[in-house]
Structure 1
Amino acid sequence: MQSVVKSSLRLGALLFVTPLLWAQTAQTPSNSSSTTDDGVVRLDDFKVTDQRDAYKGNTSITGMKTDTPLIDVPAPIQVITKELIEDVGALDITDLYQFMGSVTEFSYGGVSARGFRQEQTRYNGIAGSPFNDFGILTLNNVEQVEVLKGPVGLLYGDNEPGGLINIVTAKPKAKFGGSVNARVGSYDLRGGSFSVTGPIDQKKRFLYLVSASYNEKESFRNNYGQEALNLVGSLTWVISEATRLNVEVEDVTNKQPGARIRGVPFLAFSAPGVLAPTGTKGGSFIAPISHSPTEPTDFQNLFTTIYSARLDHAFSSNLRLNAFVRWYESESEQAYHEGNLMVGPAFVEQLREFRHQLRLNDELAWAANVIGDYEIAKTTHKILAGVDYSSVNRVFYSVAVAQASVARINVLNPVYGVSGLTDDSVPFGAAVPNDTDKIRTGYYVQDQISFGEKWRLVLGARYEDFEDTRFRPTTDSFSDSVFTYRGAVGYKIQPNALAYYSYAMGLKPQTLGSEDQNGPFPPQESLSHEAGVKWDILQNRLSLTASIYDITKTNILERDPTPGAPTNWLAPIGEVTSRGFEFDASGQLTKSWNLSANYAYNDTKVTDAGTFGTAVGSRFPNAPRHKFGVWTRHNFLKDDKLGVAVGVNYVGARENFTGVQDFPAASYTIYNAALYYRWNQVRFALKCENIADKVYSRSVLGGEGHFPGTPRNYTFTTSYSF
C-alpha cells in the first residue's frame, strides 16, 4: 500500500506539475486535433466507435500509441470488431482465439502467442486486468479487441515477444442509442445485457454510457458452472473543444462453482487394462471428458471494482496531450480438489489434494505521453514521448490438505461427497500470507519519419525500471533496469499497400517467484526480425496482411527435467527460436459478404539447451505448427434481412510441457455455423458450435491432463437496437 501512495503522488506531479510529459495512451485511438478558421483548437471525434467496415477494423492505437492508420503501421495488427464479436456470439475472450492467427489457448484464458506463453492482457493499452488470477475475461462493454503480433517491449515494457492482446472498451457518444439482448442455450445458458448512451444536457457537454451484462450456465464437466455479472458506468465531460475528460467505473462478479477446474487425465497411447472411451489419434482421454476431480462444494469466486479516468487535451493542431489512470482492487477466493496422479491396478483412481486460497490484489497503473507532428528538413515526424507506471500489491493466503489425507476418486465411476473438505473445514487460521509489491516504470520515445510519399522509418528506445519487494512471510527485494529499442522501415508500394521490415529487442527480468525456487536466474532476452506486406483491396473493404518472423529468446525458465530435482525447481533453457509465417484477411468481399480468415505456421523449439535445459529440438507446449481459422457471413434477401455464417477452426498437434512430452495433443478441426434474421430493429441469431460433436483437446496441462473442448452446443440470441 505504501507503494500505491507514492505512485499516486508521482502521478499527481506528472499531471499537474510537469507539463513536459504530454500524453497519448493506447486506449481508443488517439484524438488528432485541428484548428478552425477562427483559430480555435479542437479535438477530433473518437474514431474507433465511428468508423467500421463490418469485420475490417480501420483504426488501432496498440501498435504505435499514435493516430496512425493501420495500413501505415509496420507490424501485423488484427482488429476484431464489435460486429464480428456479436456475430459469433462471443461471451469471453476464449471465444475469439480462433481469429487470432498464431494465438492458441493455454489455460484459464492465457494463450501461446507465436510459441511463447502469454498471460497479460491490456485494457485500453494500460496494465491492470482483474482476470489475471485464473479468471477468464468476459466481453461486456467491449468495443473491439486488438491483437498486436510480435515484440511490444518498446511501448509496453515487461511482456513476451509473441504479441499483446488489448481490450478497447466502449465510450459515451453524443447521439442517444443503445441495445438490449437476451440469450439462451445449451448447458442451461441464460442471460442478457443492455447498453444505453447519449448526452445528458442539450449542449452535449456531458455524455453518459451505462451497460450491464449477466450470464450463467452449467457445463459438460461435472459440478462446474459459471455466473458472471458486469456493471459499467461511464461519463465524458467535454470541457472545451480542445479538452475532454472521461471517467469509468466497472464492477465485476465472476462465480465458478465446482472450480478451479483442471484437465482430464490423458495418455499418449492406450495401455492394457486402461479404458479410453474417447480416444483420438495418438492419444486418449482415460476418463469421459465430463470428468472433474472437484466436488460440488468447490468454488472459485472473483469480486473486483475498477476505476479509470482519461484526459485528452490539444495544445495546438500539432501537439496534444492524453493521460490515463486505472486502479482496481480484487478479491479472488478458491477452495477446490486438485487432481494429481492416476493409481490403482487399472490406473483409474486419481489422487487428490485439497487447496483453500485467497488472493487480494490492489493495482494502480497510469500512463502519460506526448504526440507532436513536425516537419524537419523536408521530412515529417510524428514524435511520441511518454512514461507508464504500474504497481500491484498481491496478498496470497494458502492452506492445503495433502493427498494422503484426501479421498481418491474413480475417474470412470466418480462418487462425490466422500471427501467432506470445504473452505469452512479448512480455514486459513494462522496461515501467514505471501505479501509482495511489483512495480514497473518505463520511459520511452519514438519517432515516425516520412520521407516523401513512399518511405517510412520508425525509431524508438525505452528505459524501464523493475522493483519487486516481499514483506511477508520473509523480507526480500529484487530490482533491475533494462534498455530496449525498436526500428522499422516501410515502403508504400502504393497508397493502399505497405512493405515493411522491423527489428526489436525485448527483455524480461526474473521475479521473486523464480528466486524462491532455485534462482536467481539471468534475465530473459529476445531479438526479433520480421518482414511483411499489408494491402487493402476491393476499394479498401478487405485488408490483407502477410508476414514472416524470426524470434530468438534466451534464458526462458521451464520445469527442471534433471532426474531427482524438486518438482518446483526451474531451469534456464539456453536458447529458444520461434520462426513462422502468418496471413490474415478481414473485411468485406462484397457489400453482403463478410470474411475473417487467418493462417499461421509456427516452429518454436529449443535451439540451445544451456546448462540445465531440456534436449535441443524440444518444442514448446500448446504451440502448434499449423493453425487455420475462417468465419464468413453472407446476407440474403432485401435489406440483408437473412444471413448465414459458417466457420472452420483447425489447430495442429501440440506438445506437452518439458519432461512430459509423452502426452501430446492431437490436431483437431471444428465446424461452426449460424443463422441470422433481422426484423426492423430486432435481430435473431441461432449458432451451433462443434457441429460434428468432435472430442478434442483444447490445450495441454502437463501430466495433469488435457482441457477438453466443448461438445456440440447451441445458442439463441435476440437483440433490439435503438
Structure 2
Amino acid sequence: MKSLSLLALAAMSALAADDSDLERITVVGRAQSLYRVDDGELATGTPTPLARTPQSLQILPQALIEDQAALQITDLYRSISGVSQNAYSAVTFRGFRQDEIRYDGVRGDPFNGFAIPQLFGIAQVQVLKGPSAALYGAGEPGGLINYVTKQPGYERDNRLQLRLGNDDFAGLGLELSGPLTTDAGQRYRLGLYQDHQNPYRFNTDDRNRILDAGYAVDFGDSTLTLQWRHIDQHLGGARLRGIPADSQGNFLADRRWNANEASDVQQLKADVLQARLDHDFNAWLSGQLTLRYFENSELQRYHEPASMTDSDGDGLADWTERQYRDQERNTQAASVTGRLVAELGDHTLLLGADGYRQEEGFHYQRANKADGVLGLSYGDPQYGVTDPVEYRLHLITDSDTRALRYGLSLQDQWRLTPAWDITGSLRLDGFNDRVLDRKSGEAQQHDDSGFSYRLGSTYRLSDRLHPYLSWSTGFVPQAPGNQLAAKGGPFEPEQSRQWEAGLRSYWLDGAINLNLAAYRIVRRNILQTDPQDTDKLQALGKVRSQGLEMDLLGDLSDNWVLNLSYAYNDTRVLEASSGISRAFGDRFANAPRHQLGLWTRYDISAWDSAIAFGADHVSEQVNQEGQRIKAYTVFDASWQSRWRAWLVQLNLKNLFDKTYAVSGLIDRTGQFAGEHRRLYLTASYRF
C-alpha cells in the first residue's frame, strides 16, 4: 500500500506539471519528520552526514523526548542500543559503567555523579558509541552522552506546559524564545521549570527547579551566544540505595523499603555559565570558541546499609545494621574549548585545543552502631526511632583536590572519491592533579600524558548500503579523589582500545533506516568498589567487551512509525590484578547480555491524535559480588491529541506495575529498584 501511494502521488504531480517545470517530489513519512536525524557533528566535530560517519552515533530529537514524556535520561534508555541503567547518573555503556557527560560538546557537568541530569531545556540527546578520546580527550570507552541545549530562536516559540501524575507529581514549565530585533540579529530564551513528587519508596520527597536564560547576537560573520542555567534539586530520603535481595535476585523486602530516614537528604545547587563564539573567517575557514563555568554544592546525609543479618536463623537475611554518612562536596570548574575547521578541497581539517580545571572540597563524617545508629528490619522497618543530631560523628575524609586536563587534537576527513571517505584523528592529552588530605596531612601530585587516535573509513556501496570500519584508543586518568591512600590509591590511568565495523542501510526509498554495528573493546585499570570496604577501590587488570547492536527506524505506513533497538554484549574480566575478588567469576558487573527497546507510534489523522506503545527488555545481570539481578521487561503506552494550539498527552509507564531491579552494587546495599507504574497527564500550550 505504501509503494502504491507513493507512485500515485508521483504520477499526479507529473500530470499537473509542464515538461519544463517538472521537479522531484519527495514524500516524507512520520519517522523522517518526527524522529530521524541524518546529520550530526558529535562524532567528527564537523557537520557530517551520519552515512559518512565512521562510528556508531545515535541522535534522539526533541520529538522523541516529548513523546516518551522523558523527564530525565533514564526515561530514554530503551531507545539507545547498548545502554542500560546503572546507579544514579551512571549508565552501562557497551558493558562498562560510565558517567562522562558533555553539554554542547564541552566539559562541565553540574550534576556530578549522584544526581541524574534533567531534560528541561535540552533539544537533543546525542550518543556516541565507543572511545571518543581522539577528539574529546579523556573519557570512558563505552561511549559519550552529549546534551544539546536549546538556543535563543530566530522565530518566536513560546510554550506553557503543565504536567500532573500519581505519587503527587506536579510540574510546570514555561519557555519563551524569539527575536529581540526586527531582523532577528538579537535573540533571547527564558525558561522556568519546577516539579514536586513523593515517590513510592518510604520517606522520599523530590523537588526540582531549573532556571534557564540565553542571549544571542549576530555581528558581521560572528555569532555570540550567552547562557545561564540554575539548578536546585532536593531529594528527600536519599542518597537512595537499593532493595536487599537473595542470591537468586529475589527482593527480601517490600520494594518501598528504604534504609534512609525522612530527615535524610541529597541536595544539589548549581549555577552554569556558558559563552560561545562562532566565526567565519572566509569561505573555507571557520572557528568556534566556548567558555563554560559551573559551581555547585552537593549535600548528602543518609543512612547506609552496613550488613545483611539473619536475625531469626531461617537462612534469609532480614536485618541490616546501618551507618550514617554526612558528606558535602563543593565544586568549581571551568573549561575552554577551541576549534578551527578548514575546508580544503577533498580534505576537511580540524584543529582543536581544550583545557579543563576543577577544584573540589570534600568533607565526610560517619557514625556507626557504636555511635548511636540503629539497624533496620527488612520486613517491619521502624523509622524515626533515633535522631541523627544525637549521633557521634567521626571524620573520615577532609580533602581538597584539583584536576587539570588539557589536550590538543588534529583530524582529517579525506574524501578520496565521491563514495569513499577516510577519517584520521590524533590527540595528545595531559593531566596534572593535586590532592590534599587534610585529615592525614598527606599531599599528592600526579601528572602524565598520553596519545589517543582513531582511524575510520566509510564507503557508499550504493544509495542503500553504507558500511564503515574504525579503530580507536582511549586514555583516562583516574579521578584525583580516588588517588588518596585512604581510597587504596594511587592507581594507573585507564587505557582502552576498540575496533568497530558497521553498516548503515536505507530501504523503501529511505523510509526504513537499519543500522548494524559490531565491536570489541579491551580496557585496563578499571576502578571498582572493594566489597570488603566500600570506602576503598580496586583496579581490575583487563576487561574485554564485545557485542552487536541493531537500530531500526522506519515508516511502516504513512502514519505508523517504528523505533526498535537491540544489543548483545559479552563483557568479561580477562585479567584480575592482585587482591581482586573473583567471586562473580569472569562476568563483569551490571553488563546485561541482551537488551531490546521498542517505541512505536500511530497517527490518527482524522482526530489529530496519536497512540504509542513502548517496551524495554534487559536480560539477567550480576552485581560486583556475583549476586544475580533478574531479567525484566516493562511496557509503556501513551495517547496524545492536538486542538488548535493545545497538545494534551497521557503517558502510562510500567503498564503492568512490574517489580524489578535495574542494577546492583554490592549485596548489602541492595539492588536498585526500577520505577513502579507511573501516570502522567501533560497539557502544553504554544503561543
Q: TM-score, normalised by structure 1?
A: 0.86
Is 1:182 paired with 2:162?
yes
Tell me how far 1:365 sits from its aligned partner: 1.2
2:406 aligned to 420, 441, 446, which one? 441
- Determine the C-alpha separation between the residues in 1 that align with 2:547 and 2:613: 27
Question: Is the Cα contact below 8 Å between 2:152 and 2:216 reproduced in 1?
Answer: yes
Amino acid at match of 2:324: F
Is 1:631 paired with 2:602?
no
Alignment partner, residue 233 of structure 1 = 213
State how 1:531-542 maps to structure 2 within 5 Å: 531-542=501-512
Amino acid at match of 2:269: F
Amino acid at match of 2:648: F
1:247 aligned to 226, 238, 247, which one? 226
State how 1:566-715 maps to structure 2 within 5 Å: 568-615=535-582, 618-638=586-606, 641-657=608-624, 660-661=625-626, 663-703=627-667, 704-715=669-680
Is 1:360 paired with 2:325?
no
- Determine the C-alpha separation between the residues in 2 that align with 1:591 and 1:213: 35
1:101 aligned to 74, 81, 85, which one? 81
1:403 aligned to 369, 372, 378, which one? 369
Is 1:720 paired with 2:678?
no
Alignment partner, residue 483 of structure 1 = 451
Question: Aligned in 2, Cα 1:559/1:719: closer, same or farther, shift over 3 Å?
Answer: closer
State how 1:240-639 maps to structure 2 within 5 Å: 240=220, 242-268=221-247, 282-343=248-309, 344-345=311-312, 347-375=317-345, 380-404=346-370, 405-422=372-389, 433-473=398-438, 474-495=442-463, 497-512=465-480, 513-516=482-485, 517-559=487-529, 568-615=535-582, 618-638=586-606
- Determine the C-alpha separation between the residues in 1 that align with 2:324 and 2:537: 24
- Determine the C-alpha separation between the residues in 2 that align with 1:596 and 1:177: 28
Question: Is the Cα contact below 8 Å between 1:331 and 1:361 reproduced in 2?
Answer: yes
Instruction: List gaps (5 residues or longer) in structure 2.
Output: 1-30
346-355 or 600-609, larger mean C-alpha shift: 346-355
- Determine the C-alpha separation between the residues in 1 that align with 2:298 and 2:475: 30
Question: Aligned in 2, Cα 1:706/1:554: closer, same or farther, shift over 3 Å?
Answer: same
Question: Is the Cα contact below 8 Å between 1:120 and 1:132 reproduced in 2?
Answer: no
> Deviations 1:53-79 (Å, cap 9, x if unpaired)?
211123322111111112211111111
> Deviations 1:472-514 (Å, cap 9, x if unpaired)?
4132211111111110111111245321110011122344414
Tell me how far 1:541 sits from its aligned partner: 4.4
Structure 1 runs (4+) greater than 6 angstroms displaced:
426-432
Amino acid at match of 2:332: D
Alignment partner, residue 35 of structure 2 = 55
- Determine the C-alpha separation between the residues in 2 that align with 1:567 and 1:100: 31
> Deviations 1:404-434 (Å, cap 9, x if unpaired)?
3201111211111112114xx5699999731
Tell me how far 1:97 sits from its aligned partner: 1.4
Instruction: List gaps (5 residues or longer) in structure 1.
Output: 1-50, 269-281
Question: Is the Cα contact below 8 Å between 1:399 and 1:426 reproduced in 2?
Answer: no
Aligned alpha-carbon RMSD (Å): 2.0
Amino acid at match of 1:364: A
Question: Aligned in 2, Cα 1:208/1:427: closer, same or farther, shift over 3 Å?
Answer: farther
Amino acid at match of 1:667: A
Tell me how far 1:111 sits from its aligned partner: 0.5
Tell me how far 1:524 sits from its aligned partner: 2.1
Tell me how far 1:531 sits from its aligned partner: 0.3
Amino acid at match of 1:265: P
- Determine the C-alpha separation between the residues in 2 that align with 1:429 and 1:527: 43
Alignment partner, residue 271 of structure 1 = none
Aligned with 1:85: secondary structure? helix
Question: Aligned in 2, Cα 1:58/1:164: closer, same or farther, shift over 3 Å?
Answer: same
> Deviations 1:168-196 (Å, cap 9, x if unpaired)?
00111111122111111110110121111
Q: TM-score, normalised by structure 2?
A: 0.91
Tell me how far 1:566 sits from its aligned partner: 5.4
- Determine the C-alpha separation between the residues in 2 that align with 1:261 and 1:305: 24
- Determine the C-alpha separation between the residues in 2 that align with 1:83 and 1:322: 28
Tell me how far 1:567 sits from its aligned partner: 5.3
Tell me how far 1:544 sits from its aligned partner: 2.1
- Determine the C-alpha separation between the residues in 2 that align with 1:267 and 1:144: 40
- Determine the C-alpha separation between the residues in 2 that align with 1:593 and 1:558: 44
Tell me how far 1:257 sits from its aligned partner: 1.0
- Determine the C-alpha separation between the residues in 1 that align with 2:129 and 2:259: 37
Alignment partner, residue 41 of structure 1 = none
Question: Aligned in 2, Cα 1:714/1:569: closer, same or farther, shift over 3 Å?
Answer: closer
Question: Is the Cα contact below 8 Å between 2:659 and 2:676 reproduced in 1?
Answer: yes
Tell me how far 1:80 sits from its aligned partner: 0.8
Amino acid at match of 1:413: D
Aligned with 2:64: secondary structure? helix
Tell me how far 1:683 sits from its aligned partner: 1.0
Tell me how far 1:677 sits from its aligned partner: 1.2
Amino acid at match of 1:303: K
Question: Is the Cα contact below 8 Å between 1:389 and 1:442 reproduced in 2?
Answer: yes
Alignment partner, residue 86 of structure 1 = 66
- Determine the C-alpha separation between the residues in 1 that align with 2:174 and 2:413: 41
Question: Is the Cα contact below 8 Å between 1:665 and 1:699 reproduced in 2?
Answer: yes
Aligned with 1:96: secondary structure? helix
- Determine the C-alpha separation between the residues in 2 that align with 1:674 and 1:283: 31
Tell me how far 1:717 sits from its aligned partner: 0.7
Question: Aligned in 2, Cα 1:679/1:566: closer, same or farther, shift over 3 Å?
Answer: closer
Question: Is the Cα contact below 8 Å between 2:547 and 2:570 reproduced in 1?
Answer: yes
> Deviations 1:647-687 (Å, cap 9, x if unpaired)?
11100001110xx21x2101011011111111112111111
- Determine the C-alpha separation between the residues in 2 that align with 1:627 and 1:396: 37
Is 1:121 paired with 2:107?
no
> Deviations 1:187-218 (Å, cap 9, x if unpaired)?
01101211111111112211011111111111
Question: Aligned in 2, Cα 1:299/1:63: closer, same or farther, shift over 3 Å?
Answer: same
